[in-house]
Amino acid sequence: MGFIREKDNKFFNDFYRRSLIYIIIAWIFVISSILYVASFMSLPMSDGKEIMDAPLVGVYELDGNGEMIPFDNLKSIDIGEASSVRVVGHFTEDIPAGHRVFLYMYREIIKVSVNGRIVFDNSNDYRPRWDFFGNNGVKTTDLVDITISKVPGEEYAGVVSDSLHKLCVGTRYGLVSDRVKANIGSITVCLILFTFSIGELMVASVLITTRRSEARGSVSCSLVLLFGSFCCFIDYDYITLFMGNYRAIGVVDIVNQALLILFFLENMFIHMRKKLYSRISQLVMAIWCVAIVTFAVAGAVFPHINTILWTGVLSVIAIASIIVDAVLEYMDCQDYYEKVGKFNGEMVSNIILSGFTVVELGYYMFAHSFLINVFELGISIYGIMQFVMLLYRTVEFAQKARQSDVLEKQLMENQMSIMLSQIQPHFLYNSLTAIQMLCVKDPKEAQKALGDFALYLRGNMDSLKSNKLIPFEQELEHTKHYVELELIRQGEYLHVEYDIQYTDFELPALSLQPIVENAIKHGVGDKEDGGKVLISVQRKYDDVLIVVDDDGVGFEGIVAMEDGKSHIGLENVRRRLSDMCGATLDIKSKPGVGTQVTITIPLEEKILL
């Protein structure tokens, strides 16, 4: 989520409180969801009345080879590699009116006849779903003939065996209860992931309102969890019992998987810092979008398209895209986080989900079926890690918000100290005395000096009104007013030169002037024949260097350069520079040679650590 900016202190004081509330609400939702799902466990299940395996006995043949093999239990029939099976027999118990014989199909053709009369045929619509026959009852004397065969060109693994073994008898209520119980794990995972996504979206909404860059990562993460939860939920084994529009379910399923991969790729792209890696990642996303659009257009133009072939091609593109982005993110983040010494939870969770997703898609390419439990495990680990990091960041925000309050108070106190130290009676007396003498010798120069004196005092007073960073030009102008006053007092004993090559940056108020004051008073001022002070500013790569160099008396080691009366200590300036803009202050000095003070300000968004 990044660091807290100084200007957002008040925002973060409220943000961490709201985030904690969101997390509490999310966990309440998780617990409620689990209890809701668990309530299905108390529903009547397979008790012989509500739902039971179809009590069918008879003979069967595979691939129409004419060899009829007897059976007394449907689940004992071994389909093997056969592409079709025909079962002929009768029920051992009467199927009463109101009960049904339920059939589960996943892109296979099923034909059922009772006493030679066709009662079910899905040849024209073999989309995945549960369906039934025998609503008016079936007697033990009725001859039942069931043929299940794969659709040519769409031979998904295990569909014939799965449909035959799931043949069951009972009521719709009993089937719903039975399927919910069988898929209780997936439903629970789905609800928990959905809760995690809502929590991330809540945080993202707060970040969006403040126009923070971290919002992109939170939004993409929440969308990955959201579409991941839908992937876990869209299981044809039970979803078609709640939704009757099978075509809509299929479209939603495909779109959901495509968007899941797209937002997962985007989430990895967002965490890349190097331009080359980012551009490659953008290209990968573009390729994936083109592939999805091409698939959608082809499906609309050619309704009988071979879905296995096309989904296999999409799987190859998806696997390649995920692997490329995962490698790029690892290479990009490894160097960065080794430098800052932080654990990159986002990268680790993305790589974990990448691995599980690649395994899932790879299995589909060869077996033409999904190992949904593999993906559920991967997305669950991803969701838990993201939620833990959200909690960690919220606590971190809380700590930094409190630190911001303390720092803000310290800044106000420091500003008061700076102002008071800069306008001590001794300084006022010396400046006004020098101006008084000028009034006799050079009235025009005295008038100018009074202007510098007034603007100098105004600069100190203005520093009390704001704790934000100010433009460097403003600080430089304030420093020049101070230097002009010192030149009046010291005359030819003081020479100040400027080498300003870059000014487009900000820094804390009263950062440069106190350093120049120390150079004049404690460097050049303590030298009998005076000296020179050079103020230079230049940009070096992504940093700005401000150097105040004097040829004064210098000193050995670290000297506490505070007297509490006429100037502020360098340590105070160092602390404010570090706290407000991540800058550093270095001092080099040698007795008899002089002192050099260097301020290094990073040219990135000013942050409050």
The verdict on residue 491 lying in a domain is: yes
Whether 505 and 555 have beta carbons less than 8 Å apart is answered as no
Q: Which helix (H) or strand (E) holds 399?
A: helix 372-422
Residues 265 and 325 in one domain: yes
Residues 386 and 474 in one domain: no
**CATH number of the domain within which 562 lies:** 3.30.565.10
> Span 72-79, mean pLDDT?
89
Query: Which residue would you say has higher pLDDT here, 417 or 500?
Result: 500
Per-residue pLDDT of 13-67, as tens digits, reads 454 455 555 555 555 555 555 554 444 444 444 444 578 888 999 999 999 888 8
Per-residue pLDDT of 485-499, as tens digits, reads 788 777 778 889 999
Residue 154 — pLDDT band, cuts 50, 70, 90? low
CA atoms of 179 and 186, how far apart (whole Å):
11
| Cβ neighbours, 10 Å, residue 177 | 21
Whether 70 and 58 have beta carbons less than 8 Å apart is answered as yes
Q: Cβ neighbours of residue 170 under 8 Å, at least 6 residues apart?
A: 49, 50, 51, 52, 99, 100, 102, 178
The verdict on residue 311 lying in a domain is: yes
The verdict on residue 401 lying in a domain is: no
Residues 159 and 184 in one domain: no
The verdict on residue 428 lying in a domain is: yes
- pLDDT of 525 reads 74
The verdict on residue 140 lying in a domain is: yes
Whether 378 and 361 have beta carbons less than 8 Å apart is answered as no
Whole domain around residue 69: which residue ranges? Answer: 51-170
**CATH number of the domain within which 124 lies:** 2.60.120
Residues 142 and 185 in one domain: no
Residue finishing a domain among 330, 361, 396: 396
User: 3-class SS at 134?
Assistant: coil
The verdict on residue 536 lying in a domain is: yes
User: 3-class SS at 499?
Assistant: strand
CA atoms of 216 and 432, how far apart (whole Å):
57
| Cβ neighbours, 10 Å, residue 381 | 16
Residues 356 and 234 in one domain: yes
The verdict on residue 441 lying in a domain is: yes
CA atoms of 32 and 26, how far apart (whole Å):
10
Q: Is the dihedral of CA 265, 266, 267, 271 positive or negative?
A: positive
Whether 421 and 463 have beta carbons less than 8 Å apart is answered as no
Residue finishing a domain among 396, 411, 434: 396
Residues 478 and 458 in one domain: yes
Residues 249 and 141 in one domain: no
Residue 598 has pLDDT above 70, yes or no: yes
CA atoms of 323 and 280, how far apart (whole Å):
12
- pLDDT of 225 reads 87
CA angle 500, 465, 452 (to 5 degrees): 50
Report the domain count for the chain.
3
Residue 337 has pLDDT above 60, yes or no: no
Residues 150 and 295 in one domain: no
Nearest to 15 by CA among 194, 164, 145, 210: 210
Whether 227 and 172 have beta carbons less than 8 Å apart is answered as no
The verdict on residue 308 lying in a domain is: yes
Residues 544 and 462 in one domain: yes
Residues 458 and 384 in one domain: no
Residue finishing a domain among 116, 144, 170: 170
Residues 482 and 533 in one domain: yes
- pLDDT of 451 reads 73
Residues 140 and 194 in one domain: no
